[in-house]
Each structure stands twice: as structure tokens, then as C-alpha cells.
Structure 1
Amino acid sequence: MIISRSVMYIGVLVLVLGCKLQKKSFEFVVLPDTQSYMESYPDIYIRQMEWIADHQKRFSFVIHLGDITQNNSENEWKLAKEGFNRIESKVPYTFSIGNHDMGSGPGKFADQRNTKLANAHFDIQALKNNDHVIASFPKATVDNLCSKFEIAGYTWLVFSLEFGPRNKTIDWVDQIIEKHPEAKVIINTHAYMFDDNTLHGGDHWWQPQAYGIGKDTGADAVNNGRQLWDKLVSRHPNILMVFSGHVLKSGVGRLVSTGDHSNEVYQMLSNYQKGVEGSQSGGNGFLRIVKVDVEKGEISVSTYSPWLDAYKEDADHDFSFENVKF
């Protein structure tokens, strides 16, 4: 076979351009607790989701930190799904089940691990078909999700874990991570950090152990942030980021910790709901935009409200991590 120089040149050119055009950075949205919007300010929530849909080409995925609803009621879950329908098949999404999203009935916050309404409104098979979800636990539920993405030259696993992840949930995560040693891992769970820039535990308020589910034992025993670090996050060299909400007071915090394999883990708390210091209109629609630049070795975070068309520009809400090793 004789191949002309021109054909060879074109082939090399296509290969080079393909490498240059491969994205070295990407962005995703972090949606903190939306519970106050569900209860009192639905228009703000819908505006958040419409804005994400309007910028679908910009964002690789959306992470909801949990407490999607305030009262775990039929009407609030219906509204929640209406919002997610705005980004369905446009931007992949995943979510954590918060303490306000489970319970024996409306307003029974995590008195038991009952997620019937969440599972009635969000179908696990639809998520697997449309939103890169590759596994769930327990099977056929949305209680704990694992999503997989191929972005910026890496495989990314995004785990969304229930409020107070159980020991058996941690075992499930362990097994998947061990099967994907090449992947970069992001953990999303409702309660993990406190607003003093430390892991949730000790004498901190609002720990999973303080709720009804905290009485469970054995494989069903719950874990707070410090326990999650010890049992899961610190043990895997490829866990890169952890996101959480839940905590009031300032509602924000961040922490860089070194894992057992000398790897750095970037951990962030964000919450703007009613009850957080300075919160207005249930949070005024503020969400976070996370940019990951694998070429620069940087993770940058900004905080924006589609409702106000405004940014929070102080250091607690606009910051970056440099010299990140991917």
C-alpha cells in the first residue's frame, strides 16, 4: 500500500489538533440545600435550574448537596422534580439525600431512613439512562449514587451519599473505588464539614448520631464527617474532593487534608438556607461554580446567584486551591 505524503500530513495534523482541542478544564455546579426554596421561595429554585439549563454547554454536571426538600412532603418533591426536569437530558445531575429528605412522614427529619418519596419522584433507571449513573445502593434506589464521567483526559467517579452514610454504604463505595484505581473521585454527602473548617464530629451540632437514624447499629450504623474521613476518604489515594452542606452558622468552610497515601483532599462546605447567618429569601439562589483546571493544577470556586445575577466576592465564597496534583 502506498500512502502519499499529503495523506500522512493530514493524518498527523488531525491527531495533533485533536490533542490540542482536548479540554484541559471543566466546570460543574454545586447546589447547596434548597429546602427553604421548596417551602417558601419556589421561584428562586426554578430560576436556578433554568439558568443551569441555559448554560448547559458550560457545565459538565450538577451536584446537589442534599436537603432537597424541607418537609419531605409530596408537594415539595413534586416541585423538586419539576426543577430537575428543566435540566433533564441537558446537564447530568446527581444528589445526596439529606436529613430533611428522609423520615417516617412529613417533618419527621431522619427519625428513620425512609426515602419512599425521593424514590417515587426520581427513577433510578432514568438516572442510569440519562445522567451517567453507573451504580446505586441499595440497588434500584436513589439513596446512594455513583456517576462516571470522562472529562479532561481523566475518568471521574462522583459519589452522592446519604445523610449519615451507613457502614454498609461505605463498604459499597470502597468496592467501587478499588475497581477503578485510575479514576479521580469526588464525594458528595450532606453532612461532612462544620463551619469552623474542621470535620463534623466531637461536640458539633447537627451530627447524624443526634437523629433517629443515629440509633442504628452494626452495618446500619451512621457516620459523621470525622468517621467518614477515617473509614473512607483518607484511605484512597484517588479521592480528590468532598462537598457537603447541612450546617448552619456561617454555612461555609473549607479544609485541605492529607490522606494515608500523602495525597491532598480538598473539602468544602456550602449552605445558604434560612437560618444561616445573613441568609435572605432562603438563600437568594446562591450556588457554587467549581472549575477544575488539570493543566494549571487548580480548583477554583465562585458563588453566584441566578436570581440576583450577582456574585459573593469575599474570600469565604470566592477562592481557589493551587498546585493540585491530578
Structure 2
Amino acid sequence: MTAAERQNPLHRRSLLRAAAVLPAAGAAVAGLGAPARAASTEASAASAEVSSAAASSAGANGRRFDPASPRFVLAVLPDTQYLFDADSTDPAPLREAFRHLVAERGEANIAFMTHLGDVTEHGTEDEIERAADTFRTLHGKVPYSVLAGNHDIASGDDQRGDSAYLAAFGPARYKAMPTYRGASPDGYNTYHVLTAADRSWLVLALDWRTSDKGLAWARGVLDAHPTLPAVLTTHDIAWADDDGAAQLSDNGKRLWEGLIRGNDQIFLALGGHYWPPGRTVLRNDAGNDVHVHITNYQDRYYGGAGMIRTYGFDLARGVIDVETFSPWLLSRDPAKRSALEAETVELTGPADRFVLDIDFDARFRGFAPVVPPKPRPASAVMPRGTVAYWRFDAAGTSAGGTAGRPVADGAVVRDLSGNGNHLTVGRLASSGPGALTWSADHHPGQPAHASLRFDGGKDPDRGAILTTAARAALNSEKFTRGYTIETFVRLPDPFEGDHSWMGLLSWEGRNGDAGKTTGWSPLEPTCSLNLSPERFLQFVVYPQRQDADPTSWSHAVPVGRWMHIALVNDGHRTVMYVDGSKIARNPAQPSTGIATLGKPFVLGATQFDERFSHGFYGWIGDTRIVNRALPVREFLTPFA
């Protein structure tokens, strides 16, 4: 075991060694070795949005492929021809690669595998049958595509007619796969639709020499699925120099001019054929990037040793993490690997292991724009126990405003719960009109499409507040059975000035007046949400039933984007959530209720010794208080 494996027992290498070894494949898949003449166009007119992952098999670890996860893997397998070379055939590396994909499907969330052609060296019936037999290890467990390389067929473009390759790897092979959607009339080009990251993706698997008819067919597929991002796979598209800098081959130029550059859906194009591996980025007619990659390791030890490349799509981070490794060599005891095996087991050069930064929403906006959710009425977001709910659109204010205009002192934001906890606007000391303005900016999942922009500061005379009336019921609510306090917040970018310890919300009063003897000072309020100098959220509460001050701390929260904050108490302890995720520093200290003193609830600042300072700087959106602990799925913006 390596040092890295000792430090991380769940490292891919350890997972692979721990995976159950599947028995070697035997006879060919029933029906797939027989000749099959491809004569179909699209096999189905079913919507590409229909999930194909429901029938997917689980990996050896028992976990199933999750089509809703924002992270998934597209596996790429390049030229395997030297593993199927007449009587030099050795399918073991490829079988181990397939075992790995099957075993890790659930854990790594592998959506699909695509072979880039040159499955065999000579394309003979014997070589093709051996390769088809090897694919049995994968078949029915992970969906895949295979396309013809120049070594798999005798000659010509996709109009060449029958071949041993077409009989084994033509449309008949894919018909039982939930991702398969159809083939060109000649059968050498196929397309597949997979559901991953809660959306559909198109994979075009094109022959190594696609004819004009084939290109017209591919354009038709794209036209029939105009909102699907597409990955184009073919055998010959680009070549690279020894530094990994790639440029289009002659065939690649034809594909670029005839298909790729005019179809914005194609954002990634993958090919093999040439070595060394490399990559480049081209700009299409829509002004967007198209990533073009060469993946081929047949020149490496043991014909590439069944090397696979994984494209780890992560829509949460906006990246594709690319790794290249040989499961066959990884499965061996590290202490017994030969020098060449150790050298080839994983490739980490800049053409083999890298990260693509892609803003997926922005990249796909031209053909699949994100449709923002419509505003939701207040009645749709007031669960049982709602004590107060404020929003800053026309439905929630007595004096509607235009975006960018000041909110007048005395303006009222209604409590839409019907409990009368209305908020009245006021400014701190001599703060000017700009201290509080209307805004159309909002969290994309926020029920109301509006917010308030606060321009507060550390100066005690700068800022604005919204407070409940002197006799509002919320002022004296004790919440001994629990509570959920939610709000939407956005910090400016750049985050200029000193805004340390600015308050987001609080109850007025001194905790010392509630008989509390713990905490930093008896002069701070009984409950407040603040921001530290390091941009850590701080929620400090003095419970009704305990003489304590349990305080939750978040991580350093971001600037420039909206976040949802929830403070949830079940009557025993309090937990802070940021964007639906529980933060680490939630105290286990008992906490029952809030020691309110009958004094107003406040948005926009925090008191100390009953004096306001450190007014909020940024945007605040919908804010809701419920007198019980809500599960994450019932937050103002539900999280999975």
C-alpha cells in the first residue's frame, strides 16, 4: 500500500482492489455476434428528456447510478487495437477496465462509456468476435457506444456496406440499452441520450470517415434535440505535437466546417487515432468554446494496458475533472508491479490529467437557457406554525418601489403570515436615502423576486433597520418547542470597507436583563445573526430555559452570490444551514427557546447595550420565522 493509500483508504486504487472480481466473460452476448444489417434511422421518437437511468444497474458496492446528482462521469476508451491483434490477442486489460467501470458505477456515478474506434488491429471476423465477447463484461451494466476506426473496417466512408465490425458493433448491439436512440441508415453512426445531473445529454458516435449523408444525419439529430448539450466522438479529429498542443486533422477540419462550428450544442469533441494525446480549444460560430481532445495510448506499454480516461462532470463546481489510468495495472499489488507497469499505471501529464473550467449555464445558454422559476405566492410558502413572513415585492409592501430607488422611512413591510408582525423602515442617525433601496435582485430559488439593498457600515450612524411594532406578538415569542429562522442574503463583490460584526437580524434588549450570566457580555442582545471580520456567520442565542449562549459559526461565506441561511432549533439544540448544508460548528449545548424581552425584532443591524451599530451591507431577501424545526425539504427554497 502506498503512502497516499494509507492516508486515504477510499482512494480509487483501494476501491478497485477491494471490488469483487467478476468472472471472465465467456461466449458472446446472445444475438450480438450474428450478422445484423443496419437499416434504421432513429429508433425512437421518444423525448430526449425521458430518464434513461432508471433501469441502470448498481455497481459492485451496491450503490446505483444517480441521474439527479450534479456529479457524474463520462468514461472514454481509446484505441484497443493491439489487444486484438491476430494471435497476439490479450483481452485481459480491457476486461479489467470494464470490471472497474461496472464495480465503480454507483460510487463514481458513471453515466456512460464511449469507445473512440480501432477496437481491433485488422478488423477480421476473429478479432471482432473476440472484442465483442470481451464487451460482455460491460454489456447490460454500463451503457456505452462504439464507433469504427480505420483498423476496424476495410476502407471507405460510412457508405461502405456490410462488414464484420457492423455485424458485431452495429445498431443491434445497442437496442436494449436505455440510452440508445438511433443510427444512420448505414448503421455506422449512432446517437445516445443519457440523463445525468438532472438533465439530458447527447452523445454522437460518428464513423472515422463520415460521408455527406452521415453529416446530414448528424445535423438532423441535433436539430431534433435542440436543447441537449452534445459530446461528439469519432476516431480521427485532431493530432498533437509532443507538448500536447493539438490542431485539427484534415478529417477534423471537415467535421468542424460541416458540423461542429455551426452547432453550438457540441461543446466537447473527442478522438483517438493519433498519438501523443493533446487538446485545444476552438471558438464556434456562436462565439463559444469547443474543447477538442485526442485520447490514445496504444503506443504505451502493453498497447495502452486498457487505459481509460474519465471526464468527471461537476456542475456544482463548474468543472470537468479529467483523469487517465489503467484499471488493469491498478488492480495489481503495487509491490509486485514491474517498472513499466508502475510507470504506466496512471498518467499525470498536462495532456492526461487536467481540469476544464466550464460555466455550464452560460455555455449552454444559447440553446438551452435556464428558465428561472416564477415567483411563488405567500400562501405556497407558509407551513404550519409560520409566525412571520416578509417579502419585498409588491405583495409584501404597502409602498411599492422601483429598483434602485430609496425605501422611505416609515414604509411598512407587511407580515404575510397574518400575525401582525409588520416591519417599519427607519434609518440610523443621519443616514441618507441610499442607506436602503429597493432591488429586483434575488436568489434564484426565492419565492419573491425582490430584495432590499442595505448600505450600512461600521459607523454607528450609517445604515437602515426594519423593526416590528412595540406590541408585536413576535417580540415576546419564546419558541420553547423550536424554531426555524430563514433569510436570503447576498454580500457585495467587491466587499469594500470594514463591515466586521455587522448585524443581519436580531431581537432588541440586553441578555443580562433576561437574567443570563454567560457569554461575551451581558449587554449583547438575546439573539442575533452577525458577520465576523473573516466573513463567518455567527448565530448567538441566549435560550429561554438555559443560562447559556450556544453559538453557531459558519465557514467564510462567499461574496457576489446569493445564499440561503437557516437557523433550526428542535427544542433541544440549534443547527445552522447554509444553502441547505449543515455547517460544522453547531454546538451540542442544550438550547430551548429564545429569551426574548418583549422588545422589537430587527432586520438590518444588531444592538449592543440597546444601541445600534454596524448596519448591514448587502442584500436581504425573503425572511421567514416558523415556531418549529423544519426539515431541509421545507425550507423557503427546497434543497434535495
Give TM-score, length-normalised by structure 2: 0.41
Q: Deviations over 1:208-255 (max 9, x none)?
A: xxxxxxxxxxxxxxxx0011111110101111110000013x2x0101
1:232 corresponds to which letter in structure 2?
Answer: L
Tell whether 2:346 aligns with 1:311: yes
Kept in 2, the 8 Å contact 1:102–1:114? The answer is: no
Tell whether 2:297 aligns with 1:246: no
Shift of 1:297: 1.6
Q: How many matched pairs?
A: 273
Tell whether 2:141 aligns with 1:90: yes
Shift of 1:37: 0.7
For residues 236 and 281 of structure 2, what CA distance do their matches in structure 1 show? 17
1:312 corresponds to which letter in structure 2?
Answer: L
For residues 30 and 316 of structure 1, what CA distance do their matches in structure 2 show? 14
More helix by share: 1
Correspondent of 1:229 among 245, 250, 256: 256
For residues 295 and 116 of structure 1, what CA distance do their matches in structure 2 show? 44
**Correspondence for 1:4:** none
Shift of 1:161: 0.3
Kept in 2, the 8 Å contact 1:101–1:115? The answer is: no
Shift of 1:176: 1.2
Q: Root-mean-square deviation (CA), in Å?
A: 2.1
Correspondent of 1:124 among 168, 171, 190: 171
Shift of 1:152: 0.8
Shift of 1:284: 2.0
For residues 147 and 171 of structure 2, what CA distance do their matches in structure 1 show? 13
Tell whether 2:190 aligns with 1:145: yes
Alpha-carbon spacing, 1:24–1:227, altered in 2? closer, same or farther (3 Å): same
For residues 202 and 144 of structure 2, what CA distance do their matches in structure 1 show? 13
Correspondent of 1:282 among 303, 308, 314: 303
**Correspondence for 2:200:** 155
**Correspondence for 1:103:** 154
Correspondent of 1:29 among 75, 81, 95: 75
Shift of 1:122: 3.3
Kept in 1, the 8 Å contact 2:194–2:202? The answer is: yes
For residues 241 and 70 of structure 1, what CA distance do their matches in structure 2 show? 27
Alignment of 1:199-278 (within 5 A): 199-201=248-250, 224-248=251-275, 250=276, 252-273=277-298, 276=299
Alpha-carbon spacing, 1:323–1:45, altered in 2? closer, same or farther (3 Å): closer
Correspondent of 2:131 among 70, 75, 80: 80
For residues 131 and 100 of structure 1, what CA distance do their matches in structure 2 show? 29
Kept in 2, the 8 Å contact 1:191–1:244? The answer is: yes
Shift of 1:126: 4.3
**Correspondence for 1:5:** none
Structure with larger RCO (C-alpha < 8 A, sep 6+) = 1
Kept in 1, the 8 Å contact 2:91–2:134? The answer is: no
**Correspondence for 1:214:** none
Correspondent of 1:42 among 87, 91, 101: 91
**Correspondence for 2:237:** 192
1:195 corresponds to which letter in structure 2?
Answer: A
Between structure 1 and structure 2, the one with the greater Rg is: 2
Kept in 2, the 8 Å contact 1:103–1:112? The answer is: no
Kept in 2, the 8 Å contact 1:69–1:101? The answer is: yes
Alpha-carbon spacing, 1:115–1:162, altered in 2? closer, same or farther (3 Å): farther
Shift of 1:289: 0.7
1:242 corresponds to which letter in structure 2?
Answer: A
What SS does the corresponding residue of 1:147 show, helix, strand or coil?
strand
Tell whether 2:334 aligns with 1:299: no
2:295 corresponds to which letter in structure 1?
Answer: S
Task: Spell out structure 1 runs of 4+ moving beyond 6 A.
Answer: 109-112
For residues 112 and 265 of structure 1, what CA distance do their matches in structure 2 show? 28
Tell whether 2:105 aligns with 1:56: yes
**Correspondence for 1:135:** 182
For residues 169 and 83 of structure 1, what CA distance do their matches in structure 2 show? 28
Kept in 2, the 8 Å contact 1:103–1:111? The answer is: no
For residues 92 and 112 of structure 1, what CA distance do their matches in structure 2 show? 26
1:76 corresponds to which letter in structure 2?
Answer: E
For residues 141 and 179 of structure 2, what CA distance do their matches in structure 1 show? 12
2:78 corresponds to which letter in structure 1?
Answer: P
Give TM-score, length-normalised by structure 1: 0.79
Q: Deviations over 1:155-213 (max 9, x none)?
A: 21101000121111110011110121110101000000111310112xxxxxxxxxxxx
1:31 corresponds to which letter in structure 2?
Answer: L
Shift of 1:114: 4.8
What SS does the corresponding residue of 1:321 show, helix, strand or coil?
strand
What SS does the corresponding residue of 1:308 show, helix, strand or coil?
helix
What SS does the corresponding residue of 1:235 show, helix, strand or coil?
coil
Q: Which runs of 5+ in 1 are unaligned?
A: 1-20, 202-223
For residues 129 and 180 of structure 1, what CA distance do their matches in structure 2 show? 21
2:252 corresponds to which letter in structure 1?
Answer: G
2:111 corresponds to which letter in structure 1?
Answer: S
Alpha-carbon spacing, 1:323–1:124, altered in 2? closer, same or farther (3 Å): closer
For residues 115 and 99 of structure 1, what CA distance do their matches in structure 2 show? 15
**Correspondence for 2:226:** 181
Shift of 1:131: 4.7
For residues 125 and 358 of structure 2, what CA distance do their matches in structure 1 show? 46
Deviates more, 1:116-125 or 1:308-317: 116-125
Deviates more, 1:258-267 or 1:38-47: 38-47
Shift of 1:80: 1.1
Kept in 2, the 8 Å contact 1:243–1:267? The answer is: yes
The percent of aligned pairs where both chains have the same amino acid is: 30
For residues 289 and 157 of structure 2, what CA distance do their matches in structure 1 show? 32
Shift of 1:125: 3.6
